[in-house]
C-alpha cells in the first residue's frame, strides 16, 4: 500500500506492506537513525517523535495508520547548523552523558515547551516520565528544560 | 519484521467501522495502539499467530472528542487520555476523571492511548472501569446494522467486559453534589500495572452518605461494587471514625481473594483514608 | 586554526566545558554500534539453550543451512574450542567459558550456535530449524544449595566453588574476645542489572585474504574484547580491530567479549566475508549479558565501648551464575573496600563465589562494593545505635586518614573522608534532624564509602597510552584507548591534554577506543579513566609540548628548561614573559629548517603492588577516592512508602577536571543506588529471569527523585593528573545503607534485605508492634 508522510517538513511517498512500525520506517527505510530503540515495549522512550505537537512512541505506531501525518524527529529540530534552544540547552547544561536517551528526551521536552515554555518542576517531571535515562542525568536534564523554556519564551516575546 | 503480515482497514465513519467489526474475520481493533501493538509484537516473538485484519479507528472523526451539557458529559471512544486530562469540561463530579488520567502510565502513552481502549480492552487492571462505574456511566455501542445499544458500566463489567458490538462513547450524568475519591496504588517494581484501584463516590444531602458507590479493582478480576459496604455507609453521618468502622463491613472476598498480605492491607488503608477524607473535608 | 576558537576554553582543567561530542548527540548525528549498517549486511542471531543444565548430545544444523536466505551457521565445531575469561592473569582456573559451548549448557540462554541470514525473519526461522538433542541434567539455583556436596556439579569445581578468597590479617578471634560489645548481622544484597539503554550490539567483518577482523562494537573495553577475540580465533592482536562507537551506556555489562562478538566475526568468515550484525533484544540483554552478583553478606564486629572497632570477621557468599566473568574482582572488592574506609588491624573474611545455573554474574557498576556498602554501613550504624553513639561520631572514630598504610598494605595518600563526612553533616543539618523527627516519621542516615582508581586484577599491568598529534594548522588530535561510554572521558582527557600542552580545549578532537589507531587502555571500569588514562593524556600532552619547545629553544638559543607553554603562549617559566604565540611556535616546527612532526606519546601505569590472594594484601590502586552520603527520608507508616527527600553527597575527587561531568556522574550513580535500594531486583525461578523487560524491572525515572546536593572536595592528589582522582561508581556504594539507616532513624525498623519495599516496612512495623505489646 502507498502512503504519504511528512517528516521534518519533507514529503515522503512510501510503499509499505502494512506491518511496519513508524520506527522501522524511520530507521530502516529512511536511514533517520537519530530516533533510537531500546525496548520494543513502549517503556523506554528512546523512540519518541512528535506528531501533531504531541510526543508519541514510534515503536508502537503503525506507519500505515499515519497516512498524511506530519512527523518531527530529532533530525528536524536544528535550523541549518543552528541548534534548537532545547538542543543548545542540553549541551550547555551538561545534560548529555551516553546520549542514547537524548533524542527521545529532547523530543518530549520540545513538545512540552512548545505548549508551555514555563512549566513547573512537576510538569517537567511528568512530561519526561516516559523517557528513561539510565545514566540518570535527570537533574541536569531538568536544568536544560527550564533553561530552554526561558530562551523560547524570550524568542516568542 | 516486528509484526506479522496484516491488512489495515481504515473506515471513515462509525457505521462503517461497526459493520467491518462484524464482517472481518480474525480482526482486532486499533484504537490508540498502546496495548495492541505491544501485544502483536510479543505474540510474534512467541511464535503465536496474530490477527490478520486490523481495524483502525484513527480516521473515524465521529469517535473523537468530548461534549457536555447540563445533564451530562459525553466522552467518545477515540479521545486520548491527554485530551481528557486537559479538557476544561471536567468540572463537578467529572473532576475525578482528571485524577485518574494523571496516573495512567506515562506521557507519550497518555498522548496515544484512547479512552475506549482503557475502558474496554479486557485487561482487568486498567484504570477507567472503577471510575466509570462510580460515576454511573452508561456505555453505548453500535451494531453492524447501525443500531445503538446501551448498558451501564457496572453491568458491562459484571458481564466480564464482553461485547459483540463496537464501543462508541459513554455518557456520564452530571452530579454537582457528588463527592469522589480515587486511589491507585502502584506496584513498587513496576511502572504501569497498578496493585489496586478503587473509587468511592457519595452524595451528601443533609450531610449523610447517600447513593454511595464503592468500586474496587484488584487487578485480578473486573471492577465491581462492594454492596455490603455501600449499604453500611448509606444513611451514616459524617464522622472521623466512620472510615475505621467501615472496615468491619467489607465484603472480604472481593479484597482478599488472590491478594497478598500487603494488598489486603493497602485496600483497607485506602478505603479508610478515602472515607475519612470525604467525612473530614465536608 | 581556521575554526573559531573561544578564549574561555583556555586553561580548561577545572572548567565545565561542553562535551566534546555534545552537538553530535543532541542532533541525532552521532553513530552508535546500534546505528551501524552496511550494504549486504547480514543479521545474526544466537542459538540459546532452553535448559538450565544439560549435556549437548548432538546438534544438526543441516535444515537451517538449507533455508534460503541463510548464509552461515556456526556451532562449536567451527571454533578452536578455546575458553576465555576475564580474570585470567591471576585466576587462570576461572577461564571457563567457551564462545559456543560444546559439552554442556549451564544456564537458560547459554550460547551453542549462531546463524547469519539476509534478514531477521529468516535468521529466527533458521534458529528454529537447528535440531539440538540435550540430556537434561539436574540444576541448582540457590547458592546455599549449590555448595552442598550433593549439589549437581556445574563445572569441575568442588562444591561449585568458582573462587575462594580468604582475607586474613591479625588475630581477630583473640581480639574479639576482648571486645566490650559484639554484633553479628546477615544481609541479602539482591541482583540488579546494568540495563544500559543501548543493548549489546556489534557488527563483525572478516576479510579472509587480508586476514583481518573488524568489529564495530558497543564496548567499555575494546582492548579486552580484542584480546579475547584474538585468543579464541587464534589471531595476532594486529589482525583484530575493535572499533568502539559511541556507547549507549555500559555500567559494567560491556566489559568483556561476549559470545555474540565472537559469533559476528566467525559468521562473517563463514558467509564469505559479509558483515554480520548481531543486536540483542531487550530480553536477551537481561538474560544473556552480565548481572550483579546476589550476595549473602555475613559480618561480625567487636568494638570497645567507646566505639573503636577491634576486629571484624565474616563471610560473603556470592551467586556467580553459570560462568566466572569478573567474579574474582567483584568478590575481592566486596571485602577489601572496608580497609579503605575503616582502620582495622584484625580481620578475617572468606569470600566464596559460587556457580549456579542462573544467568552469568559479572562486574556491574560498584563491583561488589554496592553489596558490601549496604551490608557494612548498615551493620556499623546498628553498632553505633546499640552503643547509644551518634553514627557520625562512630564513623569519625574509626575512619582512615590521609597518608596511611592499611593493614593490607593499601597506600592511602590524599584522603578527604573526614572532610566529606563533616561537610555532608553540616549541609544536611544532621544535628537538628538525627533522632528528632520521629513524630513525623522523618529520619536521617549516613553511609560512607571509598573507591579505587583501577585495580590491577586482570593483567600484569594496567597501563594506558595516549598520543597527542599536533597538526600543521594548530588543530590537535588526542588518541586515547580510554572508552568513553557516556561518562565524558573524551572531554575530560581532552581538557587534560590541552591544559598540559598549554592550548585551548577548542583545538582538540578526540579519537578513542579504536584498537588499530589508539594506544592500549584496559577500559572503563573501576573508576580508573580520569586517573590512569588521564595521566597518559597528560604525559602525551607534555611530550608534544617538549617537542615543540625543543625546536623553539634551538632556534632562539635558549635552555628548554626555562620555557613553557601556557594559555596559548610560549613563555619564560621564571617571569611568564611571552616569547611567541603557540601558532608561531608551530609554524617554526613545520618550517623548512625543522619540518618536525609533533607527535606526543604518553604511557602511564599506576604504582601499585600485586595482590596476594592468599591474604588479600596489596596496594590495588594508585589513589583512592572517598565520600560520605547522607539521606533524609520520610516514611508513611500506613502505606509503607519511603520517600527520600534529600541526599547530600560529599565527594573527595582530588580535583574536578570538569565539574559538570563529575556532578553528572555523582547524580547518575546516586540514582542507580536509589534503584538498587527500592526497585531494581531481578527475579529468577528455576534459572529463568521473570522480569526481563523494562515493564517489570523498574529503573529510576524523572518522577520521584530526591533533591541531590553534591559537594566536591578537592584534596589534590599528588599522583593524579592535575590532582584528579576518578569518579565513576562510588556514589552508589553507600546509598542503600544511608537510606536504610535513615529509615531506622525515622521509624525504628531495620531492613536487612533489599530492596526496601512498602510491604517489608509494613511487616516490620507489625512485628515491632507485636514485640512491644508482648513486652508490655
> C82 lies in a domain?
no
Q: Note the pLDDT tens digit of each residue in C184-211.
A: 999 999 999 999 999 999 999 999 899 9
Q: Out of A40, A41, A91, name the one closest to residue C26 (CB).
A: A91
pLDDT of C490 reads: 95
Are both C579 and C483 inside the same structural domain? yes
Are both A15 and A48 inside the same structural domain? yes
Is residue C540 within 8 Å of C478, Cβ to Cβ?
yes
Using the Cβ of B46 and the Cβ atoms of chain C, whether some distance falls under 8 Å is answered with: no
Averaged pLDDT for residues A60-85: 97
Using the Cβ of B192 and the Cβ atoms of chain C, whether some distance falls under 8 Å is answered with: yes
Are both C660 and C726 inside the same structural domain? yes
Are both A43 and A21 inside the same structural domain? yes
Which three three-digit cell numbers place residue C92? 587462570
Q: Is C192 exposed, middle or buried (0-12, 13-18, 19+ CB in 10 A)?
A: buried
- What is the least distance, in Å, from the CA of B24 to any CA of chain C? 27
Interface ipTM above 0.95: yes
Give the orientation angle of helix A138-156 with respect to helix A102-115, to 10 degrees. 40
Strands (E), C418-507: 442-452, 464-470, 476-480
Total number of residues shown for chain A: 157
Which of B107, B190, B191 has the highest number of chain A CBs within 10 A, making it the mutation to test binding with A? B107
Are both A124 and A151 inside the same structural domain? yes
Neighbours, chain C (3 or more CB pairs < 8 A): A, B
Sole residue written with cell 522501522: A24
- Pairwise CB contact (< 8 Å): C668 & A136: yes
What whole-number distance in Å separates Cα of residue C236 and Cα of residue C525? 25
List chain C residues with pLDDT less than 70.
1-6
Is residue C603 within 8 Å of C519, Cβ to Cβ?
yes
What whole-number distance in Å separates Cα of residue C493 and Cα of residue C510? 8
pLDDT of C5 reads: 65
What whole-number distance in Å separates Cα of residue C300 and Cα of residue C309? 11
What whole-number distance in Å separates Cα of residue C561 and Cα of residue C572? 9
With contacts defined as CB-CB under 8 Å, which chain B residues touch C761? none
The CATH code for residues B178-280 is: 3.30.390.50
Residue B251 confidence class, pLDDT cut points 50, 70, 90: very high
- Pairwise CB contact (< 8 Å): C639 & B260: no
Are both A40 and A58 inside the same structural domain? yes
pLDDT of C613 reads: 81
Residue C688 half-sphere exposure, CB side, CA atoms within 13 Å? 5
Using the Cβ of A134 and the Cβ atoms of chain C, whether some distance falls under 8 Å is answered with: yes
- The chain B residue lying nearest C638, using CA atoms, is B269
Averaged pLDDT for residues B169-197: 89
pLDDT of C767 reads: 94
Using the Cβ of A62 and the Cβ atoms of chain B, whether some distance falls under 8 Å is answered with: yes
Q: Out of C198, C661, C700, name the one closest to residue A100 (CB).
A: C198
| Helix, strand, or coil (residue C363) | coil
Distance of CA C252 to the CA centre of its chain: 4
pTM over 0.90: yes
Which residue(s) pair with C303 in the sheet? C181, C309
Percent of chain A with pLDDT over 70: 100
Are both A68 and A6 inside the same structural domain? yes
Out of 3.40.30.10, 3.20.20.140, 3.30.465.10, 3.10.450.750, select the CATH number for domain B61-173.
3.30.465.10
> C188 lies in a domain?
no
Residues 152-191 of chain B whose Cβ lies under 8 A from any Cβ of chain C: 185, 188-191
Averaged pLDDT for residues B181-205: 88
With contacts defined as CB-CB under 8 Å, which chain C residues touch B268? none
> C177 lies in a domain?
no
Q: CATH code at A44?
A: 3.10.20.30
Are both C564 and C674 inside the same structural domain? no
- Pairwise CB contact (< 8 Å): C705 & A38: no
How many Cβ atoms from other residues are within 10 Å of residue C183's Cβ?
Answer: 17
What residue numbers bound the domain in which A90 lies? 85-156
Number of domains chain A contains? 2
pLDDT of C119 reads: 96
Q: Out of C119, C121, C698, name the one closest to residue B191 (CB).
A: C698
Residue A66 confidence class, pLDDT cut points 50, 70, 90: very high
Sole residue written with cell 590524599: C414
Number of domains chain C contains? 2
With contacts defined as CB-CB under 8 Å, which chain A residues touch C251? 134
Contacts of A140 (CB under 8 A, 6+ apart): A93, A94, A95, C660, C663, C664, C667
Q: Phi-psi bin for C299: left (phi > 0), alpha (psi -120 to 50), beta?
A: beta
- The chain A residue lying nearest C710, using CA atoms, is A139
Question: Nearest 5 degrees, angle CA C461-CA C465-CA C467?
Answer: 170
> C158 lies in a domain?
no
pLDDT of C595 reads: 94
Q: Out of B1, B190, B260, name the one closest to residue C698 (CB).
A: B190
Question: Nearest 5 degrees, angle CA B178-CA B76-CA B211?
Answer: 20
> Residues C219, C224, C228, C229: what is their CA dihedral angle, to the nearest 10 degrees?
50
Using the Cβ of A133 and the Cβ atoms of chain B, whether some distance falls under 8 Å is answered with: no
Is residue C335 within 8 Å of C316, Cβ to Cβ?
yes
Are both C509 and C642 inside the same structural domain? no
> C222 lies in a domain?
no
| Residue C128, phi then psi, degrees to nearest 5 | -65, -25
Averaged pLDDT for residues B163-175: 96
What whole-number distance in Å separates Cα of residue A2 and Cα of residue B174? 46
What residue numbers bound the domain in which C658 lies? 416-449+624-775
Contacts of C396 (CB under 8 A, 6+ apart): C418, C421
Q: Phi-psi bin for B211: left (phi > 0), alpha (psi -120 to 50), beta?
A: left
Q: Out of B1, B190, B269, name the one closest to residue C639 (CB).
A: B269
Contacts of C757 (CB under 8 A, 6+ apart): B188, B189, C640, C678, C679
- Pairwise CB contact (< 8 Å): B108 & A108: yes
Q: Note the pLDDT tens digit of each residue in C53-71.
A: 999 999 999 999 999 999 9
pLDDT of B193 reads: 85
- What is the least distance, in Å, from the CA of A42 to any CA of chain C? 9
Is residue C401 within 8 Å of C162, Cβ to Cβ?
no
Strands of the C578-581 sheet, one edge to the other: C563-566, C569-572, C578-581
Is residue C621 within 8 Å of C453, Cβ to Cβ?
yes
Using the Cβ of A129 and the Cβ atoms of chain C, whether some distance falls under 8 Å is answered with: yes
Amino acid at each position: 500500500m502507498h502512503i504519504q508522510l511528512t517528516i521534518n517538513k519533507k514529503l515522503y511517498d512510501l510503499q509499505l506492506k502494512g506491518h511496519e512500525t513508524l520506527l522501522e520506517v524511520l530507521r530502516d527505510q529512511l536511514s533517520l537513525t537519530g530516533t533510537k530503540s531500546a525496548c520494543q515495549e513502549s517503556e523506554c522512550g528512546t523512540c519518541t517523535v512528535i506528531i501533531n505537537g504531541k510526543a508519541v512512541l514510534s515503536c508502537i505506531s503503525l506507519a500505515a495508520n499515519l497516512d498524511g501525518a506530519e512527523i518531527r524527529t530529532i533530525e528536524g529540530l536544528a535550523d541549518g547548523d543552528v541548534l534548537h534552544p532545547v538542543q543548545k540547552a542540553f549541551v550547555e547544561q551538561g545534560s548529555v552523558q551516553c546520549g542514547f536517551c537524548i533524542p527521545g528526551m529532547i523530543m518530549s521536552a520540545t513538545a512540552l515547551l512548545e505548549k508551555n515554555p514555563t512549566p513547573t518542576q512537576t510538569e517537567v517531571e511528568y512530561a519526561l516520565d516516559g523517557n528513561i535515562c539510565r545514566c540518570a542525568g535527570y537533574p541536569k536534564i531538568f536544568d536544560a528544560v527550564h533553561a530552554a523554556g526561558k530562551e523560547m519564551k524570550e524568542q516568542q516575546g | 519484521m516486528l509484526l506479522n503480515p496484516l491488512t489495515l482497514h481504515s473506515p471513515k465513519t462509525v457505521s462503517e467501522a461497526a459493520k467491518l467489526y462484524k464482517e472481518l474475520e480474525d480482526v482486532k481493533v486499533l484504537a490508540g495502539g498502546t496495548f495492541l501493538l505491544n501485544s502483536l509484537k510479543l505474540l510474534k516473538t512467541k511464535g503465536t499467530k496474530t490477527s490478520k485484519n486490523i481495524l483502525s479507528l484513527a480516521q473515524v472523526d465521529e469517535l473523537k472528542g468530548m461534549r457536555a451539557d447540563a445533564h451530562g458529559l459525553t466522552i467518545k471512544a477515540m479521545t486520548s487520555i491527554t485530551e481528557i486530562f486537559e479538557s476544561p469540561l471536567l468540572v463537578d463530579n467529572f473532576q475525578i476523571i482528571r485524577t485518574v488520567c494523571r496516573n495512567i502510565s506515562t506521557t507519550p502513552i497518555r498522548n496515544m492511548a484512547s479512552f475506549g481502549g482503557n475502558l474496554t480492552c479486557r485487561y482487568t487492571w486498567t484504570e477507567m472501569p472503577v471510575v466509570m462505574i462510580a460515576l454511573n456511566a452508561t456505555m453505548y455501542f453500535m451494531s453492524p446494522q447501525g443500531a445503538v445499544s446501551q448498558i451501564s458500566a457496572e453491568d458491562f463489567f459484571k458481564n466480564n467486559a464482553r461485547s459483540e458490538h463496537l464501543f462508541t462513547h459513554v455518557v456520564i450524568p452530571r452530579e454537582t453534589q457528588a463527592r469522589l475519591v480515587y486511589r491507585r496504588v502502584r506496584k513498587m517494581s513496576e511502572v504501569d500495572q497498578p496493585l489496586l484501584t478503587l473509587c468511592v463516590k457519595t452524595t451528601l444531602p443533609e450531610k449523610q452518605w447517600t447513593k454511595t458507590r464503592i468500586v474496587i479493582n484488584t487487578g485480578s478480576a473486573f471492577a465491581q461494587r462492594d454492596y455490603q459496604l455501600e449499604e453500611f455507609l448509606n444513611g451514616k453521618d459524617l464522622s472521623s471514625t466512620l472510615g475505621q468502622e467501615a472496615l468491619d463491613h467489607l465484603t472480604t472476598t472481593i479484597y482478599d481473594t488472590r491478594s497478598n498480605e500487603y494488598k489486603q492491607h493497602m485496600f483497607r488503608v485506602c478505603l479508610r483514608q478515602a472515607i475519612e477524607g470525604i467525612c473530614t473535608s465536608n | 586554526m581556521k575554526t573559531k576558537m573561544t578564549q574561555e576554553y583556555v586553561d580548561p582543567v577545572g572548567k565545565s566545558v561542553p562535551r566534546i561530542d555534545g552537538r553530535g548527540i543532541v542532533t541525532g548525528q552521532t553513530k552508535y554500534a546500534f546505528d551501524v549498517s552496511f550494504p549486504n549486511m547480514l543479521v545474526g542471531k544466537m542459538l540459546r539453550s532452553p535448559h538450565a543444565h544439560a549435556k549437548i548430545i548432538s546438534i544438526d544444523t543441516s535444515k537451517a543451512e538449507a533455508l534460503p536466505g541463510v548464509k552461515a551457521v556456526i556451532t562449536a565445531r567451527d571454533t578452536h574450542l578455546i575458553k576465555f575469561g576475564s580474570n585470567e592473569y591471576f585466576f587462570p582456573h576461572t577461564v571457563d567459558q567457551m564462545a559456543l559451548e560444546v559439552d554442556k549448557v549451564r544456564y537458560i540462554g547459554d550460547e551453542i550456535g549462531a546463524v547469519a541470514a539476509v534478514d531477521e525473519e529468516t535468521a529466527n526461522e533458521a534458529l528454529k530449524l537447528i535440531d539440538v538433542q540435550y540430556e537434561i541434567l539436574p540444576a541448582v539455583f540457590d547458592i546455599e544449595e549449590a555448595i552442598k556436596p550433593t549439589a549437581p556439579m556445574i563445572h569441575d569445581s568442588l562444591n561449585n566453588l568458582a573462587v575462594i578468597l580468604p582475607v586474613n590479617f591479625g588475630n581477630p578471634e583473640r581480639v574479639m574476645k576482648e571486645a566490650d560489645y559484639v554484633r553479628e548481622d546477615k544481609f541479602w544484597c539482591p541482583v540488579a542489572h546494568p540495563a544500559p539503554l543501548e543493548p549489546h550490539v556489534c557488527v563483525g567483518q572478516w576479510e579472509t585474504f587480508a586476514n583481518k577482523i573488524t568489529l564495530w562494537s558497543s564496548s567499555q573495553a575494546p582492548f579486552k574484547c580484542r584480546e579475547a577475540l584474538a585468543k579464541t580465533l587464534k589471531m595476532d592482536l594486529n589482525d583484530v580491530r575493535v572499533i568502539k562507537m559511541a556507547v549507549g551506556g555500559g555500567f559494567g555489562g560491556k566489559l568483556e567479549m561476549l559470545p555474540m562478538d565472537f559469533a559476528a566475526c566467525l559468521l562473517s568468515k563463514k558467509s564469505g566475508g559479509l558483515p554480520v550484525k548481531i543486536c540483542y533484544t531487550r530480553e536477551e540483554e537481561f538474560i544473556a549479558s552480565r548481572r550483579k552478583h546476589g550476595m549473602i553478606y555475613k559480618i561480625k564486629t567487636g568494638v570497645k565501648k567507646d566505639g573503636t572497632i577491634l576486629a571484624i570477621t565474616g563471610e560473603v557468599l556470592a551467586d556467580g551464575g553459570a560462568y566466572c566473568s569478573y567474579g574474582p574482582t567483584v568478590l575481592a572488592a566486596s571485602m577489601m573496600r572496608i580497609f579503605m574506609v575503616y582502620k582495622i588491624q584484625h580481620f578475617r573474611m572468606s569470600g566464596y563465589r559460587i556457580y549456579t545455573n542462573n544467568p552469568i554474574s559479572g562486574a556491574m557498576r560498584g563491583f561488589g562494593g554496592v553489596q558490601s556498602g549496604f551490608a557494612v554501613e548498615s551493620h556499623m550504624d546498628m553498632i553505633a545505635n546499640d552503643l547509644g553513639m551518634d553514627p557520625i561520631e562512630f564513623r569519625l572514630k574509626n575512619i582512615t586518614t590521609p597518608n596511611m598504610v592499611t593493614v593490607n598494605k593499601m597506600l592511602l595518600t590524599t584522603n578527604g573522608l573526614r572532610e566529606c563526612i563533616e561537610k555532608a553533616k553540616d549541609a544536611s543539618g544532621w544535628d537538628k534532624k538525627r533522632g528528632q523527627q520521629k513524630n513525623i516519621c522523618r529520619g536521617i542516615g549516613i553511609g560512607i564509602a571509598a573507591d579505587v582508581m583501577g585495580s590491577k586484577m586482570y593483567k600484569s599491568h594496567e597501563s594506558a597510552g595516549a598520543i597527542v598529534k599536533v597538526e600543521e594548522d594548530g588543530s590537535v588530535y588526542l588518541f586515547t584507548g580510554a572508552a568513553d561510554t557516556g561518562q565524558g572521558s573524551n572531554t575530560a582527557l581532552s581538557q587534560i591534554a590541552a591544559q598540559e600542552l598549554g592550548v585551548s580545549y577548542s583545538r582538540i578532537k578526540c579519537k578513542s577506543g579504536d584498537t588499530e589507531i589508539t594506544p592500549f587502555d584496559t577500559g572503563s571500569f573501576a573508576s580508573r579513566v580520569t586517573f590512569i588514562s588521564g595521566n597518559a593524556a597528560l604525559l602525551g600532552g607534555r611530550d608534544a609540548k617538549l617537542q615543540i619547545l625543543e625546536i623553539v629553544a634551538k632556534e632562539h638559543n635558549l635552555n628548554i628548561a626555562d620555557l613553557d607553554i601556557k594559555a596559548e603562549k610560549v613563555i619564560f617559566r621564571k617571569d611568564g614573559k611571552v616569547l611567541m604565540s603557540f601558532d608561531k611556535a608551530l609554524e617554526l616546527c613545520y618550517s623548512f629548517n625543522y619540518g618536525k612532526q609533533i607527535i606526543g606519546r604518553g604511557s602511564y601505569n599506576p604504582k601499585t603492588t600485586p595482590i596476594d590472594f592468599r591474604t588479600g594484601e596489596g596496594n590495588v590502586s594508585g589513589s583512592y577516592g572517598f565520600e560520605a552520603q547522607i539521606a533524609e527520608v520520610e516514611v508513611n507508616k500506613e502505606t509503607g512508602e519511603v520517600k527520600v527527600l534529600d541526599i547530600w553527597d560529599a565527594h573527595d575527587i582530588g580535583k574536578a577536571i570538569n565539574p559538570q561531568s563529575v556532578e553528572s556522574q555523582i547524580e547518575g550513580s546516586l540514582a542507580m543506588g536509589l534503584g538498587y535500594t527500592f526497585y531494581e531486583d531481578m527475579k529468577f525461578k528455576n534459572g529463568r529471569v521473570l522480569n526481563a523487560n523494562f515493564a517489570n524491572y523498574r529503573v529510576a525515572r524523572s518522577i520521584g527523585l530526591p533533591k541531590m546536593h553534591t559537594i566536591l572536595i578537592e584534596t589534590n592528589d599528588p599522583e593524579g593528573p592535575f590532582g584528579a582522582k576518578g569518579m565513576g561508581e562510588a556514589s552508589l556504594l553507600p546509598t542503600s545503607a544511608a537510606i536504610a539507616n535513615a529509615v531506622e532513624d525515622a521509624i525504628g525498623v531495620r531492613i536487612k534485605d533489599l530492596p526496601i519495599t512498602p510491604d517489608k516496612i509494613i511487616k516490620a512495623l507489625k512485628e515491632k508492634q507485636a514485640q512491644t505489646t508482648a513486652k508490655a
